[in-house]
Every structure is written in C-alpha cells, then in structure tokens.
Amino acid sequence: MMKSITVEQFDEGIYQLQLNRPEKYNAFNPDMIDEITVTLNSLKTDSNLRLLLIAGNGKNFSAGADLDWMRNSINYSATENFADAEKLATMLKILNEFPVPTIALVHGKTFGGGIGLIACCDFAIAEINANFCFSETRIGLIPAIVSPYIISAVGNRIAKQLFLSAQVFSAQQAYEYGLISNLAVEQPLFDAGIELAKLLLNNSPQALRMTKQLFHQLAHTQDTHSATHLTCNFISKIRISKEGQEGLTAFLEKRRPNWQKHKDIS
C-alpha cells in the first residue's frame, strides 16, 4: 500500500497522482521516490490512460528533499550517494518521457526537486501566490539532478541565475521564465487543470502520444539527416494510421472526429 502518494482516476482517462506527505510539505524521501517511480511505470501500461495530473496535498506542492533524508546522506559514501541520486534521476526521467500529456498543479511553496518535477511535466499551472526557490547553494549543495530539466524549461542563463542566487521567485516570474505555462487567477487550481485537460482531450490520443515520442527522439538526434529521416518516418506512419485517417477525413467532411467529446474547442 502506498503511503507517500495517492492515485485517483477521473472520467475520460484522466488520472491524478497526488504527493501525500502534507505533514512534511510533500518533501521527497526514498519511499516517495520509489512509489512515484513504480506508479508511473504502472500507469504507462494502462490502456485507459490519456492524461496525468500531478498535484500536492496540503499547504505546499513540494518542499524538495526531506530533512531526515538529507541528514542520513551525510554518512553515505560516494558510491551510496550516487545510487541514492540515481533513484531520483530515474524517477524524473520516467516522468519527462511519460507517454501521455502531463500537467502539474502547483500551489504554495516549491523547492529544489519539486521544481524538477514541475519541469518534467508538459504543462504546469500555478496559483498566483505560489513561489519557488532553488535553495541548494545556501547549504553547500547544488541542484544537479534537476538541472537538465530546468535548463530545458527556462534556458541556460535564467537557470544559472536561479541556481547561483538561491533567490525566491514568484509564480508570475516562473510564468515569465517559462517554467509555468498557465496561472490560475480567476478559478480554482484543480478546475484550471481540468479545463486544460479537456482541451487536450479534443486532440487525437495517438497524435498526442506520438508527438511526445517525437520530441523525446529528436532530443537524441545529432544531425539534420537523422532528424529528416525521423520526422518523415513519424508523419508517414501517422498518416496511414486509423486515427490519422479519421482525423483527416473528418476535417475534409467538416465534422468532429470520433475522439472529440467537448464542444469548447479552442
């Protein structure tokens, strides 16, 4: 039985993974990391899955690393520290490469590794009073494990400034940096997440999955020739697929494709 997270299924294949250590401000520890990793791997094989929300229970989204976990790491050897860090890195990699769209719902304070979790999601919606901080350098550490995802989200220069300064930054700043994609200003955070989810569910499930695959594979493509071959292969496969044929036919016939259920198409 999971102790650090909860998983809930809503209509139309929307799942929510909620960090559930409110008494610890949803800080990461080895048990939580293991539970998230196992859950993400399990959800990937669920044929009903179309979209994943990630939220935090309590006052904050995530305080980053748990204090007891950090205290224990003082006595780890270099080998033990590497193995410990590798578990977090693996969890973030699985989330970053998750096969369906992911949306982080962010409130309160988010520090360090919690911001890495946000950066690995495709979308992130934050309450306007949320705030963020990479505080690692204040205590003699660095945000190494999350760094690839933060740099990808906000760019090298902004990431460097945030890491070096350890300054607190606001939801508005996070939005301007590109870490946050939407701000929940006039509606509850969960409602804003469901609204975005329904917008995404208007799109072909296969096209969403293949778009994510395309981005992940392009990230490891080294030259123009390989990128050309990869992209041509993707488009040729989806054009002859069942959903590709349905979508194009529906467009030409000026009707809704069979996967669309919502009228509020933007």
The model's pLDDT over 104-140, given as tens digits with 9 standing for 90+, comes to: 999 999 999 999 999 999 999 999 999 999 999 999 9
Return the biggest CA–CA distance within the chain. 67
Place of tokens 């390989």: 226
Using alpha carbons only, how large is the chain's radius of gyration in Å?
20
Mean pLDDT of the chain: 93
Long-range contacts of 202-205 (CB under 8 A, 24+ apart): 202/259, 202/260, 202/261, 202/262, 202/265, 203/259, 204/243, 204/244, 204/247, 204/257, 204/259, 205/50, 205/100, 205/243, 205/259
Q: pTM score, two decimals?
A: 0.93
Whether 66 and 24 have beta carbons less than 8 Å apart is answered as yes
Residue type, 204: S
pLDDT given at position 220: 85
Residue 231 binned pLDDT confidence (cut-offs 50, 70, 90) = very high
Q: What is the Cα–Cα distance from 61 to 18, expressed in whole angstroms?
A: 9
| 266 pLDDT tier (thresholds 50, 70, 90) | very low
Q: How confident is the model at residue 263 (pLDDT cuts 50, 70, 90)?
A: low
pLDDT interval class at 67 (50, 70, 90): confident
Q: Average pLDDT, stretch 68-73?
A: 85
Cβ(258)–Cβ(246) below 8 Å: yes
| Separation CA 137–CA 232 (nearest Å) | 45
